[in-house]
Amino acid sequence: MFSRRSGRDQSPNAIARFLAEAGPSPFDLTGSNPTTAGIQYPEALVSVLERAQAASRVYRPEAFGLLSAREALASLTASSAEDILLTASTSEAYAFLFKLLCDPGDSVLVPAPSYPLFEHLAELEGVRAIPYRLAYDGAWHVDMGSVRDAMEPNTRALVLVSPNNPTGHYTRDVELGELAGLGVPLISDEVFAPFWLLKPSPSPRAPEDCLVFTLDGLSKRAGLPQLKLGWTRVTGPDPARREARARLELIADTYLSVATPIQRALPELLPLFAEVTAGIASRCRENLAELSRALRGSPLTLLTPEAGWSAPLHLPRVASEEELVLGLLRDEGVLVQPGWFYDFEREPYVVVSLLTEPRVFQEGVARLVGHVTRVADG
C-alpha cells in the first residue's frame, strides 16, 4: 500500500526511550532552536511582519520568488537576482535540486560526519546518498581519496556543507577546486557561514567552469526557524546556468511554496537580522572558549570547529558510545548527541551545542567532563 521510500524504521533508540521515561534533561546540550535559547530579537520584527502581511492580500505568484526579495538577496550575495531561487526552506531546495539533477536510482555524494538529513531527502526523491569522508588530523579536511572512491557512473552531484555541521569545517578553495574537477555539479550549503568561531572565513570562490548551487536561508541567520525561507544561488558556465534556471523555474512553478508575506518582508528583515546573527555567533564563541577551558587536562579531546553551532568531542574508549551517553543522562542529567547520530565512522564521539544558554552549558560541560573522567579512572 505504501512506498518503500516512506518506510523508515521510526522505533525510538535507547536514548529516546530513557528520555520518554525520565522526562527532559536538566542539562540539555543538544539544543539547536534559538527561540528557546534566550536569544534576543529586534523589537521591530513584529511590525515589519505585520506590514508585509497586510500588503500580501493580492497574490501575484512568481516561480523564482518576488523580484524585490531576490534583489535584496542579490545585494547580500553580490550576485544577480535572476540567478537566485527562493524556496520555503533549504530542505526544499535540496529536493528541487535532486529533481533537477537526478533520475531515480542515481546517486549524490554527501559528507560524513554531517547532519542526518541528506539520506532522507535523497531517498524521498528516489536518489541514493553515498557518503564521502571528512577527516581530522588537527584540522578538518575533505578526504579526496574517499570522494574518488565514492564516485559512480551515475553520480550526478556532490553535496558539501561549508561550514559543516557538526564538524565546523570550512571548505577551502583548493578543496573546492578539486571537487569541481570531478565533473559533476556541486551543491554548497552555507547556512552556517556567518557563525565563525576562530576567525572569519570568506566563502570559497565558486569555480567558473563548474555548475554550483549555493544554499542559504533565514532559519539560521535570523535565528527563527518558523520564518521559512531559503534561497539558492546558481553560478557556473552560462549555458549550464541558463539551462538550470529554466528547469528550476518549471519545478518551482509546480509548487509555488514560498509564502508571500515573508518575501515582502525580506528587504526590511535582512538588516534587522544582522544583530541576531552577531548575537548567536558571540554566544557560540563564548561557549567554545568555556568548553576549551573545561577540557584542559581531561581525557576528552575537542576536534576544533572553525564555525557553526556545534562542537564534536572525542571520548576515551572506556565504554561504548551508547553506554557513555546513557550514563551521562542517568547519573548527571546531561544530554549530548552521540557521534553515530552524525555518522562518525568510529566511537566514542559526542557533539554538544554551542547555542546552549551559558549557565546551563557551563554546568553541563563540567558534569560531562567529571563523569567521563571518573569512568576513565575506573
Confidence of residue 6 (pLDDT cuts 50, 70, 90): confident
In a domain, 6, yes or no: no
Q: Which of 271, 296, 325 is the last residue of a domain?
A: 271
In a domain, 197, yes or no: yes
Residues 117 and 210 in one domain: yes
Which of 10-19, 81-90, 197-206, 224-233 is predicted least confidently?
Answer: 197-206
List the CATH number of the domain containing 173.
3.40.640.10
Residues 265 and 291 in one domain: no
In a domain, 294, yes or no: yes
Q: Which of 271, 292, 309 is the last residue of a domain?
A: 271
Residues 240 and 100 in one domain: yes
Mean pLDDT computed over 214-221: 94
Residues 247 and 299 in one domain: no
Q: Which of 271, 289, 304 is the last residue of a domain?
A: 271
Give per-residue pLDDT as tens, 317-346: 999 999 999 999 999 999 999 999 999 989
Vertex 237: Cα angle to 109 and 94 (nearest 5): 35
In a domain, 4, yes or no: no
For position 59, what pLDDT does the model report?
85
For position 66, what pLDDT does the model report?
96
Give per-residue pLDDT as tens, 351-365: 999 999 999 999 999
pLDDT > 70? residue 202 = no
Residues 55 and 166 in one domain: yes
Q: Which domain holds residue 280?
A: 14-39+274-377
In a domain, 7, yes or no: no
> Structure pTM?
0.95
List the CATH number of the domain containing 282.
3.90.1150.10
The mean of the pLDDT values for the chain is 94
For position 49, what pLDDT does the model report?
87
Q: How many domains does the chain have?
A: 2
Nearest Cα neighbor of 100 from 297, 227, 244 is 244
Residues 174 and 255 in one domain: yes
Give per-residue pLDDT as tens, 228-255: 999 999 999 999 999 999 999 999 999 9
Nearest Cα neighbor of 154 from 105, 88, 86 is 105
User: What count of Cα atoms within 13 Å lies in the side-chain half-sphere of residue 77?
Assistant: 29
In a domain, 73, yes or no: yes
Give per-residue pLDDT as tens, 276-311: 999 999 999 999 999 999 999 999 999 999 999 999
Residues 34 and 51 in one domain: no
In a domain, 199, yes or no: yes
